[in-house]
Chain A
Amino acid sequence: MYNFELVKPKTIDEAVAALADEEAQALSGGQTLLPTMKQRLAAPDRLVSLANIAELQGVSATGGVVTIGAAATHATVAEKAASAYPALAALAGHIGDPAVRNRGTIGGSVANNDPSACYPAAVLGSGATIVTNAREIAADDFFEGMFSTALDEGEIITAVKFPVPEAANYRKFIQPASRFALVGVFVARFADGVRVAVTGASNDGVFRWSEAEKALSGDFSAAALEGLSVASDDMISDIHGTAEYRAHLVKVLTARAVKAAG
């Protein structure tokens, strides 16, 4: 790790101002950024901590929408969203280990858009809205492929708004070493249709499996998936699983998520 300056703004405006410097970077839970800096793969001159900004904290539920402050930790979401959006809370409760869950945040996870992370599946699968200091971005427009998002330089996520579905479930098949998602599937049934979002599998990051969505919107049962398959062409192949295996898991996990969502 190289030396850096740490600033601790108290408001979003102060944070945005501190991030104007090109060499500055937002620091949330640090669970991704700090290991990268320790390996000298990232070397920001200034870290702008988002941990002390009250506006970025908290979980609230009103009018069928659960709003989560960007700096809410995974542990907070697991606890505070449990009654309003159980599938989301369960997802948060199975990220990493207790240390990671007590530091890592939804804002950091969504901004990072790791292709194996769990939250992007929930955000895309729920059709959530990403709120930033400047605008609101629909999930469908936010994720732009591995580690890449619609965020502009210096733009920070302030909250994520999740419309609560009638039924939902997340199935995570762990990569044995990291225990991130080798493949994770988030299924959500809304009055106007079903969304299926897949993480871990694709070279393009989180994606929606539209054929499954169509089939499940007509018949929300595992049987509706019979005969469907996802192409393995753009899937990740690595030492933990081939593209074919990942494609296979997408289907198995989707069926299991549908069954579990009931």
Chain B
Amino acid sequence: MPKDGGIGARSKRREDVRFLTGRGKYTDDIQLPGQTYACFARSQVANGRIAGIDTTAAEKMPGVLAVFTGEDFKDVGGNPAGWLINSRDGTPMKEPKRPVLAHGKVRHVGDAYAAVVAETYEQARDAVDAIEAEIEELPAVIDMASALANSDNLVHDEIGTNQCFDWGWIEDNREATDAAIKSAPHVTTLHLVNNRLVPNAMEPRSSTGSYDPGTGEYELRTTSQNPHLTRLLISAFVLGIPENKLTVIAPDVGGGFGSKIYHYGEEALVLAAAKRLGRPVRWTATRTEAFLTDAHGRDHVTKIELATEKDGKFIAIRTETMANVGAYLSNFSTATPTFLHGTLMAGVYSVPNVYVNVKAVFTNTAPVDAYRGAGRPEATYSIERVVDKCARELGIDPIELRRKNFIKPDMYPYTTPVALQYDSGNYDALVDKMEERGDLAGFEARAAESKSRGKLRGLGISTYIEACGIAPSNLVGQLGSRVGLYDAATVRVNATGNLSVMVGAHSHGQGHETVFPQIVADMLGIDESMIEIVHGDTSKIPFGMGTYGSRSLAVCGSAVVKATEKVITKAKLIAAHMLEAPGEEVEFEDGIFSIKGTNKTVPWGDVALKAYIPHDFPLENLEPGLEETAFYDPANFTYPSGAYACEVEVDPDTGEVDVLSFVAADDFGNVMNPMIVEGQVQGGLAQGIGQAMLENTTYDENGQLLSASYMDYTMPRADDFPMFTVDHSSVTPCTHNPLGVKGCGEAGAIGSPAAVVNAVIDAIQRGGKSDLTHIDMPLTPARVWAAMNA
């Protein structure tokens, strides 16, 4: 029987009612009295020296209230990188300043060098056109290998190189890994590109700054995945506004996928402008601005080697990657290719030697940062592609090769050579589930049927493991994080017995407003409808480190549990007082407090009311009120894992690939709401298969973005996909958080690209072209046809 409420129920997403009926309130929907509008002047060239900016004509345009240039911000701070990475030689990474507005130089197409604030957006835009900027174009730094080789042509002159860092993980493994590869009986080598992606949240970025001259208080309404981090960055690094004078509100946010984790210069501009004008200032990105300036994702060029015994037993994995960080360091850009990538390079395998080298490269392109999966898709794609290639070289079935090398259930906790300690998992069980749900036994018959129609059918497998619930502060601190990564929740019981739960994790599509109440309701034995979630406003919630890295449930959800436990403890004391019994004798079940061995009871609602009408409280022992806060900092990452299978059909005449079926068998630990988990996996699969098949961000050699609109950037559409088979019935609970949950938000995007590419290679090899071992994503018809006819 499916439950109709509480943990494990398929409760419908309550937030969808407002989203689907047009009643959501997004930043751009909120009109403040006296609001003005900002528009940015953006560079048309990728690399250029600003010789002069003449704003005189613009200032005289109708409706114009203020014009800003980089000069106005040259004395405030830069937008910092959140993680300090040290190079192999011990030197710290290069951290050139990322100013609010470009000063001295523009560094990518779309880089903002001036801004106009006017009474209307059209007036601001007209005035932007009237700004006369003299920008001397310089040769663009685009290709990463040439960027590293050529120190004459620099993105940032002051650092003397285009290399941000040269990182080894773990440097102590280097020699042993090199030696193991040298002496191994078999080495599979693969060169691959992890394509650059534009996140394309449905809602473009938008920010409104306001300032109250009476109190000196600022408010920023902005499209953010983590308002507290944005406040911290603006306060402590960029504008120096005291944290207690700045409220950051992220109202309804229409998707982020990583791109809205970060603080952007436009947020600082609207605050500074609001102060100068004493009026609210709004900026909303056009879709073109979103393409040009949202932090992009992925963009790795990688060489990976897998050394094995003749029988396929893994000996070593060595990776060399160039990771594009774009023109400036976005907040997580240095963590993504390193600690979210290198630490996962053992995958689900027991392999004694692993070494990863990552060179991060500045280029004259938009900043690159974490995008759904962040580092883990890159790791998984590299590993699962090279494992597949190895299986083909050794003539071993790809599933058998994987099973042979899996970390086995009796090996946990398992410490990998790249420093993570996996707490639980059962990869064979996932593969069993995948084989069953995908009817893999019937594949050969289906392939024969495809062949009879002149099509090539292929089967591709991928497994994955990811580290999510991005936290423990002590661990991330050792790894270079400049912030802690816990989360917080306040559970406030109102006098009438209903609850407001203030959570640190912002919800922008994930379903927190539904799932967190399920948990609290389950713990209190009351109806979910009595619980409301409050999030996204730094003046209302205790603290939060944001929504990313599949951390909301594992980290913030655990804080909710802890705070609810504290509420129960306190409520028991109140009940004990009401029932005239010692506190330790109070039991609480299904919303009723009772005294052991008696028929004395008092319901939840009466206790809540009593907390606020404490006429007879023994005040020295019992405080009025019923509200508790908990901060939760876990002991480890969580480690979801999965086994994915994809079937494709390739049309040999055109190179067209049809994705016919996709099976995702995941282990997310305990599942709080299966419907939401399915939705998260399906969305992740759409983005992962989208990366494999459709999406690509292309700059030409001058740094012009060729794929700067939906005419040229292929967003996945529903008809690009089959119905997905999603299974999360294989469960090994997380061993260190109270709910036993692992996180599901990124899995689909992490595990799927390799399965798709493996399937296409399988199809082509079955079609007789066995020397074709790799095609870089996205597998567009043109690329597949070219590879087949090379």
Q: Which residues of B sit under 8 angstroms from A178, Cβ to Cβ?
A: 710-712
Question: Are A241 and B710 neighbours in the complex by a CB distance under 8 Å?
Answer: no
**A245-B711 contact given A173-B654, A252-B653, CB 8 Å threshold:** no
Q: Provide 26 A-B residue pairs closer than 8 Å at the C-beta atoms, listed in order of the A residue.
A: A39-B288, A176-B694, A176-B780, A176-B781, A177-B707, A177-B710, A177-B712, A177-B713, A177-B715, A178-B711, A239-B696, A239-B706, A239-B707, A239-B712, A240-B712, A240-B780, A241-B780, A241-B781, A241-B782, A242-B782, A244-B786, A245-B782, A245-B785, A245-B786, A248-B785, A249-B654
Residue of A nearest to B288 (CB): A39
Chain B neighbourhood of A238, CB < 8 A: 706
- The complex places the Cα of A244 from the Cα of B785 at a distance, in Å, of 10
- A216-248 to B contact mask, C-beta < 8 Å, 1/0: 000000000000000000000011111011001
Distance in angstroms from A215 CB to nearest chain B CB is: 19
B778 to chain A, nearest CB (A): 8
A248 and B655 alpha carbons, distance in the complex (Å): 11
A177 B714 Cβ-Cβ under 8 A: yes
Q: A173-B654, A249-B654, A252-B653 are in contact. Are A240 and B782 (CB under 8 A)?
A: yes
For A240, the chain B residues whose CB sits under 8 A away are 712, 780, 782
Closest to A38 in B: B286
Chain A contacts to B: CB under 8 angstroms: 39, 173, 176-178, 238-242, 244-245, 248-249, 252
Q: Is the CB of A176 within 8 A of B654?
A: no
The answer, yes or no, to whether B698 is at the interface (CB within 8 Å) is yes
Q: Once the chains bind, are B711 and A252 in contact (CB under 8 Å)?
A: no
Count residues of chain B with CB under 8 A from any CB of chain A. Answer: 20
In the complex, chain B residues 701-738 whose Cβ is within 8 Å of any chain A Cβ: 706-707, 710-715
Task: Kindly identify which residue among A173, A176, A241, A252 contacts B714, using a CB–CB cutoff of 8 Å.
Answer: A176
Note all chain A residues with C-beta closer than 8 A to B707.
177, 239
CA distance in complex: A162, B786 (Å): 38
Q: Which A residues touch B781, using CB under 8 A?
A: 173, 176, 241
Q: Are A252 and B786 in contact (CB under 8 A)?
A: no
- Shortest CB-to-CB span from B323 to chain A, Å, is 23
Q: How far is the CB of A176 from chain B (nearest CB, A)?
A: 4
Residues of chain A with a CB closer than 8 A to B715's CB = 177
1/0 contact string of B278-299 vs chain A (CB within 8 Å) = 0000000000100000000000
Residue ID in chain B nearest A246 by CB atoms: B782
Chain A CB within 10 Å, residue with most, of B655, B782, B786: B782
* B 754-790 binary contact with A (CB < 8 Å = 1; else 0): 0000000000000000000000000011100110000
On chain A, the residues within 8 Å of B654 by CB distance are 173, 249, 252
CA of A173 to CA of B786, assembled, Å = 16
Known contacts: A176-B714, A178-B711. The answer to whether A239 contacts B698 by CB under 8 A is yes
**Interchain CA distance A245-B654 in the complex, whole Å:** 9
CA distance A68 to B587 in the complex (A): 80
How far is A242 from B655 in the complex, measured between Cα atoms in Å? 13
B786 touches A242 (CB 8 A): yes
Contacts of B785 in A (CB 8 A): 245, 248
- List the 4 closest pairs (A to B, CB-CB), nearest first: A241-B782, A177-B714, A178-B711, A176-B714
A112 CB to closest chain B CB (Å) equals 14
Of all chain A residues, which has the CB nearest B785? A245
B288 proximity list for chain A (CB < 8 A): 39
Instruction: Give Cα A245 to B712, complex, Å.
Output: 17
A240 to B781, CA, bound (A): 9
How near does chain B come to A115, taking the closest CB pair, in angstroms?
Answer: 13
B105 to chain A, nearest CB (A): 26
**What separation, in Å, do the CA atoms of A39 and B288 have in the docked complex?**
9
Question: In whole angstroms, what is the CA distance A245 to B782 when docked?
Answer: 6
Min Cβ gap A256→B in Å is: 9
The CA of A239 and the CA of B782, in the complex, are separated in Å by: 9
> Complex formed: what's the CA distance from A252 to B653 in Å?
7
Residue of B nearest to A245 (CB): B782
Write the nearest CB–CB distance from A174 to chain B, whole angstroms: 9
Closest to A249 in B: B654
B786 touches A177 (CB 8 A): no
Contacts A177-B711, A245-B655, A252-B653 given; 6 further ones with Cβ under 8 A?
A177-B715, A239-B712, A241-B780, A242-B786, A244-B786, A245-B782
Q: Which residue of B lies closest to A97 (CB)?
A: B717
Considering the chains assembled together, what is the distance between the CA atoms of A12 and B277 in angstroms? 52
* A239 vs B694: C-alpha distance when bound (angstroms): 12
Across the interface, which residues of B come within 8 angstroms of A242, CB to CB? 782, 786
Contacts of B786 in A (CB 8 A): 242, 244-245
Minimum CB–CB distance from A198 to chain B (whole Å) comes to 15
Query: Which residues of chain A come closer than 8 Å to B653, judged between CB atoms?
Result: 252
CB distance from A171 to the nearest CB of B (A): 11
- From residue A147, how far is it (CB to closest CB) to chain B in Å? 15
Residue on A nearest B706 in the bound complex, by CB: A239
Q: Given the complex of chains A and B, what is the CA–CA distance between A240 and B778 in angstroms?
A: 11
Which of A176, A177, A242, A245 has the largest count of B CB atoms less than 10 A from its CB? Answer: A176
Chain B, range 680-706, C-beta contacts under 8 Å to A: 694, 696, 698, 706
Report the nearest A residue to B655, measured CB to CB.
A245
Min CB–CB distance A179 → chain B (angstroms): 9
Q: Report how far A240 CA is from B653 CA in the complex, Å.
A: 17
Min CB gap A110→B, angstroms: 20
By a CB distance below 8 angstroms, the chain B residues around A252 are 653-654
Q: List the B side residues contacting A239 at CB < 8 Å.
A: 696, 698, 706-707, 712
Please give the distance in Å from B708's CB to the nearest CB on chain A.
11
CA distance A235 to B97 in the complex (A): 45
List residues of chain B with CB within 8 A of the CB of A249.
Answer: 654
- A244, closest chain B residue (CB): B786
CA distance A205 to B712 in the complex (A): 19
Closest to A180 in B: B711
Q: In this complex, what residue of A is CB-closest to B126?
A: A2
A177 — which chain B residues lie within 8 A by C-beta? 694, 707, 710-715
B-side contacts of A39, CB under 8 Å? 288
Chain A contacts for B711, CB-based, 8 A:
177-178
CA distance A252 to B652 in the complex (A): 11
Query: With the chains together, A119 CA to B725 CA distance in Å?
Result: 39
Q: Measured between C-beta atoms, what is the minimum distance from A243 to chain B in Å?
A: 11
Instruction: Name the B residues within 8 Å of A241 (CB-CB).
Output: 780-782
Q: How far is the CA of A102 from the CA of B714 in the complex (A)?
A: 23
Q: Which residues of chain A come closer than 8 Å to B782, judged between CB atoms? A: 240-242, 245
Looking at the assembled complex, report how far the CB atom of B534 sits from the nearest CB atom of chain A, in whole angstroms: 38
Residues of A near B714 (CB, < 8 A) are 176-177
Interchain CA distance A245-B781 in the complex, whole Å = 9
